[in-house]
Structures are given as C-alpha cells and as structure tokens.
Structure 1
Amino acid sequence: MSAKADTLNVTVAAVTRRIRERSAERRALYEQHMADQYRRGVHRGELSCGNLAHGFAACGAGEKETLRLTNSANLGIISAYNDMLSAHQPFATFPDTIREAARAMGSTAQFAGGVPAMCDGVTQGQPGMELSLFSRDVIAMATAVGLSHNMFDGALYLGVCDKIVPGLFIGAARFGHLPAMFVPAGPMTSGIPNKEKARVRQRFAEGRASREELLEAESRSYHSPGTCTFYGTANSNQLMMEMMGLHLPGSSFVNPGTEMREALTRYATERLVLSTDTGGDYRPFYKQIDERAIVNAVVGLLASGGSTNHTMHLIAMAAAAGITLSWDDFTALSAVVPSLMKVYPNGHADINHFQAAGGMSYLFRELLGAGLLHGDIPTVFGTELSAYTREPFLEEGRLVWREGPESSHDEEVLRPVANPFAPTGGLTVLKGNLGRGVIKVSAVQQSHRLVEAAVRIFDDQNQLKAAFDAGELDRDVVVVVRFQGPKANGMPELHKLTPFLGVLQDRGHHVALVTDGRMSGASGKVPAAIHISPEALDGGPLSKLRDGDVVRLDANAGTLDTLVAPAEWAERQPATANLDHYHVGMGRELFGGFRQLAMRGEEGAGIFGGFEADTLAARQAEMAQRDA
C-alpha cells in the first residue's frame, strides 16, 4: 500500500475543517500572542548584561564565550527525571548527552528546570492519586518557570508518563515561539506475560493468592528502567507525540540504555539546533502544531486503542495551542478509524512486541495510505509525515533511516487497514439522561457492551471492596462510584476496582462501572463509562441516582440512561456527600484552589480557563446551553 493517499478521508477532512472553523478566533489570538513573543526577543541579546551574567555564571569558560556570541543556539532542557519512576530514571544521563551534542554543533544546552513526575502505578487507590490529574497543570506551570529566563532558542522536553507529557506539551505551547523537541526514554524490556499478571491480580482479589505471590508477579512485570510495557497512558503519549511529528521517526519505543537510544538523543539535539532561528531552519512549535496535528493524534489514539485519559488530556493540550477539540470529534473520527493494534490490555502482547511486529513505521504506512492522517504537517525531522514510514538503524555507529516493513510481522498484534481488528476506533462517547462520558471498547468483548441492571452506589472507591467481600455484588450490577470528579477530589483513577469487577464478570454476571472519576489507561475488559459530565458535585445526573435504579449502558449505540420514570426523575433532588476526608493529608490541602478552578472533564479537567480569555465565555455558554 502507498504510504501516502491521494485524498484525505472525507470524515477526517470534515472534522478537521469543523475544528478549524470552531477555533478560528481562539487560534488567531494564539498565533498573534506567539508572534508577539518572538518579536519581543527569543535571543539572549535581548537580556541586560546583568541578566546574561546570571544566566551563564555556572557555565565553563568555553560555554560562557559561546553564550556571549548571540549567533549560536542555546537549548533549554526541561526534564521529568526522578529515580522512582522507572520510565524517567533513564533521563538521568540525557542532559550530559544533549550538552555534548550541542557543543559539537557549536551551540550550548542548559538544564532549564525539572518538573514533578508522579507514578500512578504507585498511587493507585491511595490518597496521592487525588493529586495526579492536577499534576499535569503543575508540570505545565513548572515548564513555564523553567523557560521564563528567556535564555533559550529552543527546548527539549524529557518526559514519558501519564500527566507528564501532556503537561510538558501545554507548557511548550505557551512558549510556542520556541522550536520544541520531545525526547522519549523508551520502554523497559518485557517481563512476565501480561495475561499472567492479570490472572494473579484477580486471584488475589478473590483471596486465592497471597500478597507475596502478588508482589512477586508485579515485580517480575515492572522490573527495570523504562516505561511499563502495557499500552496505557504513558505509551499512548509516545505514540501521539510521534503522530504529531514531535518525536524523531521510530524513536518512541526504543529501549533505554542502548546504543540506538543514545544515538537518537544526540540526533534530536542536532536537529533542534538546526530548527532554531540561528540554525537556518526556524520551525517554532506554534507553526508546527495546528488542528491537523491534533487530529492526527486523535486518529493514532483511536487506531491503537489508546488511553481514555487522552479524551481529557488532548482537549487541554489543544486548548493551550488555541484549538477547541470536543468529545464529539472523537466520536466522529472513531466511526471511520479502524482498530489496528492489540497490545495489553486490549490483547496479550506488550509494546515491545508491537515494535517487533512493525511498530510505528508500519502504523504510519497504513494510516497514511488510507488517507486517515494529515501527511502535510511539518515535523521535527524537517520533512512531511511521510518520512515517518521509515525506522532508524545504525550503520557503523552512524544513524540512518530506512523504509519500514510493508507488511506486519504479527497480525495478532498489528494489522493492516484492509484487515483490522474492528472497523471502528477503540473509544466512543456515551450520551443520555445520565450526562456525557467516554468508554474504551477496544478491550471489551461484544457480548459485554450492553449492560442493563440495577445500580449499587458508592461515594468512595474503598467502600466497594467491603461490598464485594460480603457477596453483595454477586449479581448483574452497574456499579456507580460518584463524587470522584475534578471539583470533588481531583478525579483520581479508580483502577483499584478493576480486579473485583473482572471477577464478577468472569462469574457470568453482566457488570459495568459508571463514574465521574477516571479509570487507568490500562482499563480493560469491563465496560466503564467514565468522566461523566457534569460531575455529581456540580449537581450532575449521577447525584440523582438511588440504589436499585436500573441503568442501561449501550456502548454500541453510545447511550447511557437510567430507566427511572421521567416524572419521578424530574422530581428527584441531588444527593450530597461529605468530602472533607478527600481534602486534607498527603498534600491535598494545597490543591484546594485547583479543585475550585477545575473545569469539567469534557473541557479537559484543567485549571487553565484563561487561554485567549475573550473566547472562553462563549465556550462556557455553549456548554451550559447543551446541558439545558
């Protein structure tokens, strides 16, 4: 199949056009702001002597001399390195590699700032998880602080995991006059099969495996530096960055600690130097990322069965670049984008298996050939997206790119458009009298996509285990966990519930989860209607449900409704909940302002409502009108 179709898919073109038209005023203001920032001065020459002296005081003599000469590039490094996150630990050595590569180009690089990076895998089911979503916005602000010194001609962003890459992207967008290069660290090598890990988790939930057995299984799965190998939010991040042309071709899933990983980091630095204003091929972030790149990210997410978290993150990321993306855009694209990948939790393989089966170069070849991607976007590689059908190789230590495979090496993991796992994408939007939410269907069997049952309501995820242990859920059931939205408690992931719900489903029951909270990017076989908006704390429909009400979730039809008689439903008053225990301890009291400012999940669940503020009121009025 040709790597580039003659025409763009009609629906992809229509959705892109709608986004462009909807965003016109907001995007024009964004571009104006970025152009103004560029005119105010990208270069160190705009700084006073005192400013500049502070900026290079800690540098060596040679670097000081280079920095005095304002016709060379100085790159800022923003890193999410820490020792605790396996995905980010490899970044410890990257700054030295980047500095050496910059020096070889007659330029310099400085570590501009670190950003926080928390691990959802560590905080699942713990109070710290309630800081997780808001950490994205803290990362964006920390990125801005690091770049605020105006010492830099371009920036490299080192991050991998869940909230880190979206936060870095939002920060990069607000410094969009700078060229940007996102630099991945790569996945850890494969551990025990994901199917075995899931089996031990469920046995533990049923009391048939000890904690020692569970810890041994988890340790053999998450066992070394690098990204977790399942296809959750972290690896979805990497795929989307490459789909937008912000990674080098084929760089997303190269293991850390390898000669190839080192070579790619060096080349990323060299490429960024050339992309600066002084490098002769100036390509700032704001001219690279537009509605076409955002649509490419959504298409890649849908084709791969990626993380539900990105139905919020991508909206927030797009907004930072002056683009208004909506859940309805996801639904429209999902109808024409086929499912081409099966990586755990959508299948049994891991991301290393995907890489071996053909990886990103093959996925690009298929999506471009079917006219499902905008191939004409500028990229950090200096070419159009068609170059991303190539993959990197080392020839006598020199990095080169060759055309990737024209056929998949394992169609149980990666398939062509002509023979997809499913004709539509892995995510869809649910609508009904319970509000609007999203559901990931790529891992849900067809027989489980329609659930109609009486609800059991919880206002705290920790209540569910007690009900499970007491046998109170051993039936067809729709579990509702409410007061979990961004305003209530920061919208934590509720992945802790997955083993219990999986057990009930394996016993033959029809089971579903409905919540205004989130599920992990690794959410799998149990249908879960999540991010329900408006949230219960805002008087959303979930607050009117009562135990025993019948709810119908139909993932195929895209509906979510209670079957309570309309007259009775209209008369019901919203329930309330005491949320004080969510707001103190583990630093949660520091985030009270975030909870007050948080927008609904459908708007990205962030605190930044003021991007191009004169268009914000119109957007909020539109949402209110739809609710009415």
Structure 2
Amino acid sequence: MNPTVEAVTQRIEQRSAATRRDYLARMAAARKKGPHRGALSCGNLAHGFAACGKEEKQELRSLIKANIGIVTAYNDMLSAHQPYHDYPDKIKQAIREVGSVAQVAGGVPAMCDGVTQGQPGMDLSLLSRDVIAMASAVSLSHNMFDGGLMLGICDKIVPGLLISALSFGHLPFIFVPAGPMPSGIPNKEKARIRELYAEGKVGKDQLLDAEAASYHSAGTCTFYGTANSNQLVVELMGLHLPGSSFVNPGSELREQLTRAAAQHVTRITDLGSDYRPISEIVTAKSLVNGIVGLLATGGSTNHTMHIIAIARAAGYLINWSDFEELSSVTPMLTRIYPNGQADINYFQRAGGMAFLTRELRDAGLLHNDVETVVGRGLDMYTKRPTLDDDGKLTWVEVGQESLDDDVLRPCSRPFSDHGGLKVLDGNLGRAVIKTSSLPEDIEPVTAPAVVFTDQHDLDAAFKAGKLDKDCVVVVKYQGPKAIGMPELHKLTPPLSVLQQRGYKVALVTDGRMSGASGKVPAAIHVTPEAVDGGLIAKVRDGDRVKVDFLTGELSLLVDEQELAQREPESIDLSDSHFGMGRELFGNLRASFSGAEQGASVLFKEDSEYGEQ
C-alpha cells in the first residue's frame, strides 16, 4: 500500500474508534432479531403481503425465502431516472426466477440540479439528500425485508440512499444504476455557445438548441459531474456489480446487469451462507477507495460533503485534510469534461472502471482487503462485463493499454501526479478548490473583491462592464444555513469570459460549484459560512483577497483592527426562505452542520472532524 493512503486510513480508523464501535454494536443488535418478518404479528404480516400473489404470500409466510425491498428514485422528468420506469417489474421477475420475492418498499424524491440551477428550487437541492435518506428509512422501516436494491443515480440521491441503507446496515444492499445517455454535441461546443450567450452574441434559441443537443435522451448526463461521480465512487466502494456504472440504458448488457444484481442480492442475505451486510462493506478502507477514485478522475467537489456524511452514517469521521492528503499522492488518470473535452462514454470505451480500478489497485492506491457485494477483494472490479456468444453475462480482462490516452491513462503516465483537490485555509476560513480543471499556466490570484449576496446580481454587473478588471468575486450568504447552499453554475460562463479577456479572476463563496466547476479558480464551500459567523460576511468591495491554490491560502488582506470594528453585512434572506416549498424546510435548514461536517441535518457536529 502507498504509505500515505495507509496512514490516512489508519488515522480515520483511530479518530473514529468510538463512533464506529457504537455503530457496529447497533447493527449487531439489529441482526440478532433475525429475519424481521418473524417479529411481526399475524396482522402486521398480513398487511405486509396483502397485495402479493398467492405463491408469494406462501413464500413470505415461510420465513425462509428472501424478500428484497426496492427503493426507487424513479420519475420521468429526470433523464437519468426515466429508465427506471419498468425496473421494479423486471427485478421482481428476476427474483421470482430464483425463488425469492421482491416488493417496492417505497419511492424517494429525485430532483435535478441541471433543471433547478439558478432557480428557487435549487435551494432545496442539498436538503433533498437528507430528506431522501429519511424517506428511504421510512420505506425500509416495515421490517419486511432481508435485503435491498437501491435505484438512484443523480446528485443528492445516491448519497441519500446510501446514508439510509447504512441505518439498516445489518442488511445487504446493491445499488443498481441505469447508465449514461449516448453522447450529444461536443462539450467544447456547448461551452462555447454558453459563453457567447453570456456575452450577448447569440440568442436564447441558439442556446436552447445547443443545450437540447447535449441533454437529448434518457440516461444520465454525460459530463463528469456529481451524478457520474456517484456511480464511480459507489462502484469502487464495492456496492455495484463490477463494471455496471457506465453501460448505456436500453442495451442488452444493461438489462442483464440489472437482472444479475436483482438475483445476486438474494444470495447475500442472512438467510443464506454468504451474508454480506452493508455495514461490513462500508469501512474506512472502502471509503478511502472511493475518495481515491474520485481524486484520480477529477470528480465532483460535492463529495467533499457527501462522503463525509456517508462516512458519518457508518460511524466514521472524515475531514477535508484527509481528502487533501490523499490528493497529494493520487495521480490524475482521466480527462473527462469539465476536466477535458471527452465525456463519460469515451471513458467507458477507453477501458472504463475496470482499467481504472486495476491501475489504482496495482499502484497500491486502493485497499484490496475489502469486502464487496460480490466477494472479498477487487479482482472482479478489474474486469469488464460483457455478453458471450450465447448472450450470457460474463466478466473478462481488459487490455494492459488504454484505448484512448487522451481520456484515460495508466499510473505510469498520468495527466498529473496529484488529484487536483486542495484545501484552502486562512482568516476567511476553510474552503476546497478543484485544481484539476484549471489551465496549466494559471497563477494564484490576489485582487480587489467585488462582493455579491445574490448570484443573479453578478450577471447584471458583468453585462454592465463592472467586472472588466482583475478581481476576486465574492458571493456570500449562499451556505447551508443561509439558503440551503445552491449550486452556482450560472457564474461559470461570465467568469470564464472575463478570464479569456485576460483578467485575473477568482471566485470565493460559501456556496457550491460541484463537478461542473470549470477553469476559473473557485474557493468553494467556505466554512464557517457568512450566516454562521464566518469572516466572509465582513468582506467589502475593494478589499484585497488572496486565493493561492499553490500554498493553500485563503485570506482577506485587511488590517485585523479594522476587521474587529466591522459589522457583518446585514442582509434579509426571507425571499430565499419562501416560495417553491422552501418555507417547509426552515427547521431543517437551521439545523445544517458546516460544509466540512457533511452539511447534514442528520448528525450532530463532532469536534473530531477537525482533528488531523
């Protein structure tokens, strides 16, 4: 093992000894109750199988056949989740063929940041992760199930499903993806049209044509944002069938992978001889594997919060310093948009997850002594699924060379010798910055601040020419407790244009930019946030701000005595707390932990998070 990866893993285990011990004790107590249907009264059980067929009722009465709960995030407004429309029937049939039963335990909400970005609904996006976890827990609370299949793909959905599954950690779970849509117009062309629109050089019709040609069919968006990062991380944690992350919807291979996942989960319940509960799969080692894979591919910075929250659900305490230290030894092996021009389908064709996993494992960057849903170790995850001549699902070795060096490379010839994630620290607080998508010749930025408290005001300032200068754009009061920490994607095109015009520009915000962040240096997730006493609340126009991603400094260069006399900027956030359902989430919003604690309403803040 790489000594740094080993050291970080051991530090997480030591820091988390008490919380992990408590978690495992709870899971052991839950297991002792046996197949939970046996604890139900006759009336309880009759209610639970009333809608089943005669044969299924008999099997559920016997208490010796597995009953698999399906939790689905299906809706047909989200392209990524539309393929799930007939998965329950397919899963039930596949499970019936091996003598077990499946029931849809429940559905969870699934929203799309791509639809809501820049809109009031985006303020509910991060909150939806914990709402999904709670809704999924309600779905699984009926004590009817011996295992679960989780149907979810996108940004907050998979983390929410995983957090809830870990609350039922005595059960096995397999996560079942649906795959990315086929490639649309080149990402470079899409970005060009967006920037032209920001400059007023093309109209809305042309912009919509470009967007519709990119997001054009059922399946996950093909850029490497949070949705595809979810799939990669979950597979590297051993919760997918090997190689199932990026197979297109509707293909025969995708159909066979779904059937195989459905049937396999019945074999790893406590009713059989190969019991594989999720509590034994999600360990410090598997979490570190997920982080390393994320860093090696330039994945979504949203996971600097999601993985922390997921880890907490399993009794582990992870912080940003762990991410940064792992990043320092993790080579960048991919160039997938926005870190390059290729999309996720190109990555899949170049060798995909099998090639990536083998490279990272053989370089000592992944723990191989881990449990997965298919067995111990990562051997199966270094093979790709395919159909043989008889149409039977099988897994085969991938070649020793990438099929496209512009997209995927071995550890011996990486795009970079580090993972492209840096923690910034200074009097402005702590933040993360994604350096993997920055131009190679870019330098740190120290410049006067231009301050906004609403992302929509930036566009007006840009169009008025007020940003045509070297500047650090500060967008504050965007954090979890303030307004729910919405994505700020709409800032990217105008800031990119300023950069192209030759200005030195950077962004500092207590909001999010996620996996779609681009070539402008962006210090994001600033914590403490403005509404929680962070110094970012005191930044004024003209203050010099330093964003140094080489030394890791994030500082407001204003005399300390002057700062002590300043009052935080007074701001009325009520417009962001009402409308589009936001008024229903006030109590949850006020309960958010800080970004480095996972930005969660489910877990209390622990002092151990900040310990090295």
TM norm. shorter chain > 0.5: yes
Q: 2:428 aligns with which of 434, 455, 462?
A: 434
Shift of 1:520: 3.4
Q: Distance in 2 between matches of 1:593 and 1:510?
A: 40
Q: 1:323 aligns with which of 316, 320, 331?
A: 316
Which residue of the partner structure matches residue 3 of structure 1? none
* Equivalent position amino acid for 1:250 in 2: G
Shift of 1:619: 3.9
Q: Distance in 2 between matches of 1:352 and 1:481?
A: 34
Q: Secondary structure at the match of 1:447?
A: coil
Q: Distance in 2 between matches of 1:173 and 1:77?
A: 15
RMSD of the TM alignment (CA)?
1.2
* Equivalent position amino acid for 1:372 in 2: L
Which residue of the partner structure matches residue 232 of structure 1? 225
* TM-score normalised to structure 1 length: 0.96
Q: Which runs of no fewer than 5 residues in structure 1 stay unpaired?
A: 1-7, 611-615
Q: Would you say the 8 A contact 2:187–2:342 is kept in 1? A: yes
* Equivalent position amino acid for 2:496 in 1: G
Shift of 1:382: 2.1
Q: Say yes or no: does 1:465 pair with 2:465.
A: no
Which residue of the partner structure matches residue 335 of structure 1? 328
Q: Distance in 1 between matches of 2:190 and 2:48?
A: 49
Shift of 1:405: 2.0
Q: Would you say the 8 A contact 2:15–2:608 is kept in 1? A: no
* Equivalent position amino acid for 2:130 in 1: D
Q: Deviation string for 1:594-621 (max 9, x for gaps)?
A: 11100110101110125xxxxx55448x
Which residue of the partner structure matches residue 581 of structure 1? 575
Q: Deviation string for 1:137-188 (max 9, x for gaps)?
A: 0000011000000100000000000000000000001010100100000000
Q: Deviation string for 1:45-99 (max 9, x for gaps)?
A: 2211101100000011111111111111000000100000000000111111110
Q: Secondary structure at the match of 2:465?
A: coil
Which residue of the partner structure matches residue 160 of structure 1? 153
Q: Distance in 2 between matches of 1:210 and 1:263?
A: 44
Which residue of the partner structure matches residue 5 of structure 1? none
Q: Say yes or no: does 1:367 pair with 2:332.
A: no
Q: Distance in 2 between matches of 1:391 and 1:466?
A: 49
Return closer, same or farther for 1:604/1:218 CA change in 2, 3 Å cut-off. Answer: same
Which residue of the partner structure matches residue 80 of structure 2? 87
Q: Distance in 2 between matches of 1:312 and 1:582?
A: 22
Which residue of the partner structure matches residue 488 of structure 1? 482
Q: 2:383 aligns with which of 369, 384, 390?
A: 390
* Equivalent position amino acid for 1:445 in 2: P
Q: Distance in 2 between matches of 1:491 and 1:439?
A: 16
Q: Deviation string for 1:451-474 (max 9, x for gaps)?
A: 111000000101111111110001
Q: 2:497 aligns with which of 500, 503, 513?
A: 503
Identity %: 61
Q: Would you say the 8 A contact 1:452–1:551 is kept in 2? A: yes
Q: 1:257 aligns with which of 250, 264, 271?
A: 250
Which residue of the partner structure matches residue 296 of structure 1? 289
Shift of 1:248: 0.8
Q: Deviation string for 1:469-516 (max 9, x for gaps)?
A: 110001111000000010000000000111110110111111111000
Which residue of the partner structure matches residue 21 of structure 2? 28
Return closer, same or farther for 1:130/1:481 CA change in 2, 3 Å cut-off. Answer: same
Which residue of the partner structure matches residue 70 of structure 1? 63
Q: Would you say the 8 A contact 1:43–1:70 is kept in 2? A: no
Which residue of the partner structure matches residue 602 of structure 2? 608
Which residue of the partner structure matches residue 529 of structure 1? 523
Q: Distance in 2 between matches of 1:43 and 1:292?
A: 30
* Residue correspondences, number: 611
* Equivalent position amino acid for 1:523 in 2: S
Q: Distance in 2 between matches of 1:405 and 1:165?
A: 31
Q: 1:376 aligns with which of 363, 369, 380?
A: 369
Matches within 5 A, 1:24-173: 24-173=17-166
Q: Distance in 2 between matches of 1:42 and 1:63?
A: 16
Q: Secondary structure at the match of 1:446?
A: coil
Q: Distance in 2 between matches of 1:450 and 1:22?
A: 34
Q: Would you say the 8 A contact 1:86–1:227 is kept in 2? A: yes
* Equivalent position amino acid for 1:205 in 2: A
Q: 2:544 aligns with which of 528, 540, 550?
A: 550
Q: Would you say the 8 A contact 2:105–2:139 is kept in 1? A: yes
Which residue of the partner structure matches residue 613 of structure 1? none
Q: Distance in 1 between matches of 2:36 and 2:583?
A: 40
Q: Secondary structure at the match of 2:386?
A: strand
Q: Deviation string for 1:244-293 (max 9, x for gaps)?
A: 00011110000000100010011011111110011221110001111001
- Higher mean C-alpha displacement, 331-340 vs 38-47: 38-47
Shift of 1:404: 1.5
Q: Secondary structure at the match of 2:373?
A: coil
Shift of 1:544: 1.5
Q: Secondary structure at the match of 1:512?
A: strand
Q: Say yes or no: does 1:175 pair with 2:168.
A: yes
* Equivalent position amino acid for 2:400 in 1: E
Q: Secondary structure at the match of 1:134?
A: helix
Which residue of the partner structure matches residue 513 of structure 1? 507
Q: Would you say the 8 A contact 2:183–2:345 is kept in 1? A: yes
Q: Would you say the 8 A contact 1:448–1:526 is kept in 2? A: no
Q: Distance in 2 between matches of 1:534 and 1:140?
A: 25
Shift of 1:526: 0.8
Shift of 1:449: 4.2
* Equivalent position amino acid for 2:438 in 1: V
Q: Would you say the 8 A contact 1:449–1:527 is kept in 2? A: no
Q: 2:211 aligns with which of 211, 218, 237?
A: 218
Q: Distance in 1 between matches of 2:230 and 2:35?
A: 28
Q: Say yes or no: does 1:14 pair with 2:13.
A: no
Q: Secondary structure at the match of 2:422?
A: strand
Q: Distance in 2 between matches of 1:617 and 1:74?
A: 37
Q: Distance in 2 between matches of 1:520 and 1:292?
A: 24
Shift of 1:573: 2.6
Shift of 1:202: 0.5
Q: Distance in 1 between matches of 2:317 and 2:126?
A: 20
Q: Secondary structure at the match of 2:372?
A: coil
Q: Would you say the 8 A contact 2:35–2:63 is kept in 1? A: no
Q: Would you say the 8 A contact 1:345–1:524 is kept in 2? A: yes
Q: Deviation string for 1:96-139 (max 9, x for gaps)?
A: 11101111111000000000000100000000000000000000
Which residue of the partner structure matches residue 209 of structure 1? 202
Q: Secondary structure at the match of 2:525?
A: strand
Which residue of the partner structure matches residue 4 of structure 1? none
Q: Say yes or no: does 1:448 pair with 2:448.
A: no
* Equivalent position amino acid for 2:584 in 1: L
Which residue of the partner structure matches residue 351 of structure 1? 344
Shift of 1:574: 2.0
Q: Say yes or no: does 1:419 pair with 2:413.
A: yes
Shift of 1:399: 0.6
Q: Secondary structure at the match of 2:329?
A: coil
